[in-house]
Amino acid sequence: MAATTVPDKTTRRHAGRAAGPRTQGGRGGLSRKLSQNLQAYGFLIGAILCFGFFSWYPMVREFIMSFQQTRRGVTSWVGFKNIKTVYHDPYFWTAWKNTGMFTLYALVIGFVVPFFVAILLNELRHARAYLRILVYLPVMLPPVAGALLFKYFYNPEYGLFNRILKIFHLPTSQWLDSSHTALISVVVAATWMSMGSATLIYLAALQNIPGELYEAADLDGAGLWSKIWHVTVPQTRLVLSLMLLLQIVATMQEFTNVFLMAGGNGPENSTMTVVYMVYQYGYRYNNFGGAAALGLFLLLVLAGFSGLYARLNRNAD
Amino acid sequence: MAEFTPANRTLISSATLARPRGKVIYWTVLSVVLVVFTLVFVGPLYWMATSGFKSVHEVLHNPPTLVPKDPQPSNYKTAWTQLKLAKLLWNTFYYAFGALAFQLVFDVAAAYALSKLRPVLGNIVLGGMLATLMIPSAVLIIPQYMTVLDLPLLHVNLINHPWAIWLPTVANGFNIFLLKRFFDSIPNDLMAAAAIDGAGPMRTLLSIVLPMSRPILGVVSIFAVVNVWKDFLWPMLVEPDPSKQPINIGINSLSQGVPQNVLIAALAISALPTLLIFLLFQRNIMSGLTAGSLKG
């Protein structure tokens, strides 16, 4: 049976190809499709190369490097050695604790304050444009200007803050120079520099709340707090949760401000963040395998937040 | 100013504010907000600009002075020459606008191909590009640095070269996402009509798609420039040569060796370009940054 059907099929196919002009058109279509695809990839090639070199390949390399060691130009596989090294580093948990505290402070200050500032600005009937520009001004500063300016303000001897406190005979602080206050000082400055964008995003969300909801709440005799809690917060819940995740992911990668203001690790390592530790492994200890391994820990922790963010964002569409 | 009607009313109704008690509270709150916000957000900038005019003694000693006693504009001149600010600002400008050009060409072309030309395996390419959004950028710094040291296949070292800043900015999944979503909203009938008229994909992109895409191109451009202007760790690693550094890294590495008043003058100068651009285009910049920043 099989022996007879197979040649039968081939002959029919040959016959069809020889006879029909329709299939010849199909062939032309094939080459047109090919040229269309080539053209499309011509448009894509620049981005594909950049993604390949600077994103996809480094992603793979991050994993490979975590299990490799380079000594005097010779690279060898070392298994879990790098991961063990960073895990047993005496400052591993310090760095994580600081990063966690930084994120927590940044949320308490940098997440709550902009929300209430936005609510306040949304209620004002005057000077709205002026106030919005004010809040946004620091966002436009280069980080070096904001950070070094605050470093000067925080200086315990001649900084502006202590000099003002002295005028009013208030107790002064060591700010960035004390392990108790260094981290929170950095967070306050960082919040000043960045809260403008969050405030404007909340403001946009507040303006989309239908006024009828507040009208109805008024009729029910709701007070100010109850209106905020039962109308404003639920109506902006999606934006709030997106911003929360965005901020967690961003602040857990803090480097610039601690580096500029506290020299990185700060007094008694009180501002050493995980990303600063990555930097230290790579560029102080020249241990790129260890730096990569530490990055793997960070990836593990942050991947959950990023995934949640992507999911919420998809639902938002 | 927008009219306040029941449909667009906020927490507190206009009727409440119209009552005598409401009026008093409203004007008190407004004045407090105006004073406090001006102090908090302009105060430090004012202090930066005026401290640049003070003598070292006045900058460091009690009590602080609101107005410089004996203004010394020469501090600004010293800062400009001693910290080589012209060079640093030019470098930053060069990196930012180079990055913008590369992103506009490569990312727009790629998003256009993925949205309208739809090649075979296009969805896999798109997925790969969007997947990069899930990876925190700090995690990739180390392997990216190793890549830039010795580019695979080509074996080129990009350290101290502007390419090391420009090319990685193209690998931005967020741009691809924003641009593709916008291009998706352009009706395919329009593309078909262009094709019937004999326009190739390049012609269609240049004369139909791009003119319609001005708003999204504005958002992508603002982000491209601001991101490079504010970046710190990456340029510090890949541009170690002091003559090639952007403003953030250059000022910081020279900050130890200059007097405090000169340093503050330098900070004030470094802040000027972006603040001026912001004040000129504030409406576009604020709406662009808020529209773009939540999606990702």
**Which residues does residue A76 pair with via DSSP β-bridges, in sequence order?**
A69
Q: Does one domain contain both A58 and A166?
A: no
Q: How many domains does chain B have?
A: 2
Is residue A281 included in any domain, yes or no?
Answer: yes
Q: Is A173 left (phi over 0), alpha (psi -120 to 50) or beta?
A: beta
Averaged pLDDT, groups of 10, chain B, 296 residues long: 62 83 91 95 94 89 83 92 93 96 96 93 94 90 94 92 96 93 90 88 91 90 91 95 94 90 94 90 79 56
The per-residue pLDDT for A26 is 54
Last residue within a domain, chosen from B79, B99, B134: B79
Q: Does one domain contain both A94 and A219?
A: yes
Query: What count of other Cβ atoms lies within 10 Å of the Cβ of residue B6?
Result: 14
Nearest CA in chain A to B276: A140
Please compute, for residue A307, the number of CA atoms within 13 A of its CA located in the half-sphere on the CB side: 6
Which parts of chain A sit beneath pLDDT 50? 1-25
Q: Which chain A residues touch B133 with a CB distance below 8 Å?
A: 306, 310
Asked if residue B150 lies in contact with residue B83, where contact means CB atoms within 8 angstroms, the answer is no
Is residue A201 included in any domain, yes or no?
Answer: yes
The per-residue pLDDT for A1 is 36
Q: What is the DSSP string of A83-105?
A: HHHHHT-TTHHHHHHHHHHHHHH
Q: Does one domain contain both A46 and A90?
A: no
Residue-number span of the structural domain to which A244 is assigned? 81-316
Is residue B6 included in any domain, yes or no?
Answer: no
Q: Does one domain contain both A37 and A108?
A: no
Q: β-pairing, A74-77 with A68-71?
A: antiparallel
Q: Does one domain contain both A31 and A98?
A: no
Q: Which CATH number characterizes residue A239's domain? A: 1.10.3720.10
Residues within 8 A of A (CB atoms), B 210-239 only: 229-230, 232-233, 237
Q: How many domains does chain A have?
A: 2
Asked if residue A209 lies in contact with residue A123, where contact means CB atoms within 8 angstroms, the answer is no
Is residue B7 included in any domain, yes or no?
Answer: no
Is residue A1 included in any domain, yes or no?
Answer: no
Contact A166 B62 (CB under 8 A): yes
Q: Does one domain contain both A157 and A264?
A: yes
Residue-number span of the structural domain to which B58 is assigned? 14-79
The per-residue pLDDT for A316 is 65
Last residue within a domain, chosen from A6, A33, A66: A66
- Please give the structure tokens belonging to residue B207: 């004369």
Q: Does one domain contain both B209 and B93?
A: yes
Q: Does one domain contain both B205 and B159?
A: yes
Residues A210 and B8: their CA atoms lie apart, in Å, by 6
- B48–A contact, CB cutoff 8 A: yes
Asked if residue A258 lies in contact with residue A113, where contact means CB atoms within 8 angstroms, the answer is no
Contact B107 A47 (CB under 8 A): yes
Is residue B262 included in any domain, yes or no?
Answer: yes
Last residue within a domain, chosen from B55, B79, B103: B79
Note the pLDDT tens digit of each residue in B198-232. 888 899 999 889 999 988 998 899 889 989 999 99
Rg for chain A (alpha carbons), in Å? 29
Contact A253 B138 (CB under 8 A): yes
Contact B147 A47 (CB under 8 A): no
Asked if residue A146 lies in contact with residue A193, where contact means CB atoms within 8 angstroms, the answer is yes
Is residue A14 included in any domain, yes or no?
Answer: no
Q: Does one domain contain both A97 and A46?
A: no
Q: Does one domain contain both B158 and B42?
A: no
Count of residues in chain A: 317
Is residue B203 included in any domain, yes or no?
Answer: yes
Nearest CA in chain A to B10: A211
Q: Does one domain contain both A241 and A143?
A: yes
- B137–A contact, CB cutoff 8 A: yes
Q: Which chain A residues touch B294 with a CB distance below 8 Å?
A: 201, 239, 242-243, 246, 313
Q: Does one domain contain both B188 and B71?
A: no
Q: Which chain B residues touch A43 with a CB distance below 8 Å?
A: 109-110, 112-113, 117, 201, 205
Q: Does one domain contain both B232 and B118?
A: yes
Q: Does one domain contain both A128 and A34?
A: no
Max alpha carbon distance in chain B (Å)?
Answer: 77
The per-residue pLDDT for B292 is 63
Of B9, B33, B44, the CB nearest to A214: B9
Is residue A76 included in any domain, yes or no?
Answer: no
Q: Does one domain contain both A187 and A285?
A: yes
Closest C-alpha to B292, from B227, B245, B233, B228: B227
Q: Which chain A residues touch B263 with a CB distance below 8 Å?
A: 148, 152
Q: Does one domain contain both B141 and B169?
A: yes
% helix, strand, coil for chain A, step of 5:
80, 5, 20
CA-based nearest distance A233→chain B, Å: 12
Task: Name which of B166, B270, B278, B290 to mutate to probe chain A: the one with the most chain A Cβ atoms within 10 A of its Cβ.
Answer: B290
Q: Which CATH number characterizes residue B149's domain? A: 1.10.3720.10
The per-residue pLDDT for A23 is 43
Q: Which chain A residues touch B201 with a CB distance below 8 Å?
A: 39-40, 43
Is residue A141 included in any domain, yes or no?
Answer: yes
Mean residue pLDDT of chain A comes to: 86
Q: Does one domain contain both A46 and A123?
A: no
Q: Does one domain contain both A41 and A130?
A: no
Asked if residue B146 lies in contact with residue A54, where contact means CB atoms within 8 angstroms, the answer is no
Q: Does one domain contain both B45 and B134?
A: no
3 state DSSP class of A69: strand
Q: Does one domain contain both B178 and B58?
A: no
